[in-house]
A and B are shown apart, each in its own frame.
Chain A
Amino acid sequence: MRGDDESFRRWLAWEQLTDRFQSKSMVTGVCFFDHAALSGARRADLAALHPVCSAGISAPPFSLFSDRDALFVTGTLDTFAAEQFRRVLGTVPVDRPLVVDLSRAEFVGHHALFILAESASAERPLLVRGDGNLSELVSLIGLATPQLRFEHVDRAVPTCAHCGDVIGVYQPTVIMLDGACRVTSRAAHPDAVDKALARYHHACYGRPSRSAPSSGMLSVR
């Protein structure tokens, strides 16, 4: 972790190889990093490549991890994250065609799409998956090429079981999952919010309504 930039890039490539391996096999891996031995940028890059991170670190703006046949991106790919996205994407192993699924990202700006386009080549074409908004953006800025293809996938936006409105990314959210209720947010635990049997705005939870429960165990994490 104290090596030069090239060594660190090789390490990031390794993290992605082992991540792919762990995504496809019944393996659990824990990588321990000495906080004090790493620069902020290196901590952020390492955090972005681990789908599970220890609490207490600054959450990276986005995560990039293997699942099924694709690299999934969650979080935000905005202007501020662009340089890090370019850096991390540049370390993706080149041993197979690249499929990047943006359907679970909270926000994808045009900078990120240009960076993806730069990474596509005749030798390694890129397939990007995303929702209709992304499809429109790709079309608007004329990015589709033989090397960069786009595939539309639908994404369900979570809504509140009380009021029916969309639950915002950072809004405190009560979810019912695994027989218990807890408070979280889409930003903190997007998968848990997606998998929950029911979701409520924190302010809506417990209000008399057609569907919200009147009582329940609630643990705050």
Chain B
Amino acid sequence: MRRRASIDEAGVLRPHDHVGWFGDGAGDLYSVAAAAIADGARRREKLMFVAEDPDPARLSGVDGLERLLATGQLELAAVDAVYGSGKAFSAGDQLATFEGVLGEALAMGTAASVS
């Protein structure tokens, strides 16, 4: 059975978790993302961060950020590039994108985290 839970930090995630995080603005977004990325990096997961105009400088608290980016373990992607914009949104295309990322992750011998 998947877990159903309420969490107060993003560094305690488990495979199969689908988290809805309700926060305030970009500051909270990057804080949550940095914690989730750092946690996933420790577990050697493939990581993908999708945000409006993602700014790696705001993830600087993540240990080994440059290495994660350079090796492709962490990918940053713009919302429009992944989700499309407005009515162009296609759930099927979306799923294909994430399945592709999962395929890469498995090829690397890891699981995947998407923020």
Contacts and interface: CB of A to CB of B under 8 A. Distances in A.
Contacts of A67: 1-2
A2 to B, nearest CB: 11
A33 B20 contact: yes
Interface in B1-27: 1-8, 10, 13-25
Given A35-B24, A56-B8, A57-B22, A30 B15 contact: no
A59 B20 CA distance: 12
Contact of A30 (B5, B13, B86, B91): B13
A189 interface: yes
Contacts, number: 167
A14 B8 contact: no
B96 to A, nearest CB: 11
Interface stretch (A20-28, A116-124, A135-143, A207-215): A20-28
B29 interface: yes
Contact of A27 (B28, B29, B111): B111
B4 A59 contact: no
Contacts of A54: 6-8, 19-23
Nearest to A27: B112
Contacts of B10: 30
Nearest to B3: A191
User: Which residue among B13, B23, B45, B113 has the maximum number of chain A CB atoms within 10 Å of its CB?
Assistant: B23
A188 B6 contact: yes
Given A10-B91, A17-B91, A35-B24, A30 B19 contact: yes
Contact of B36 (A7, A10, A30, A46): A30
Contacts of A22: 16-18
B60 interface: no
Given A10-B89, A51-B3, A34 B25 contact: yes
B15 A26 contact: yes
Given A13-B91, A26-B111, A27-B111, A50 B102 contact: no
Contacts of B6: 52-55, 59, 188-189
A26 B44 CA distance: 13
A7 B17 contact: no
Given A23-B2, A54-B8, A32 B95 contact: no
Given A3-B86, A28-B45, A67-B2, A34 B24 contact: yes
B114 A29 contact: yes
Nearest to B28: A32
Given A28-B15, A188-B6, 13 more contacts: A7-B87, A18-B98, A25-B102, A27-B113, A27-B114, A28-B17, A29-B19, A30-B19, A36-B24, A50-B19, A52-B19, A54-B21, A67-B2
Interface of A: 3, 7, 10-11, 13-14, 17-19, 21-23, 25-36, 38, 43, 46-47, 49-57, 59, 63, 65-67, 72, 74, 93, 188-192, 194
5 contacts: A29-B115, A30-B13, A46-B20, A65-B2, A191-B5
The 4 tightest CB contacts between A and B, nearest first, are A50-B20, A26-B111, A55-B8, A54-B21
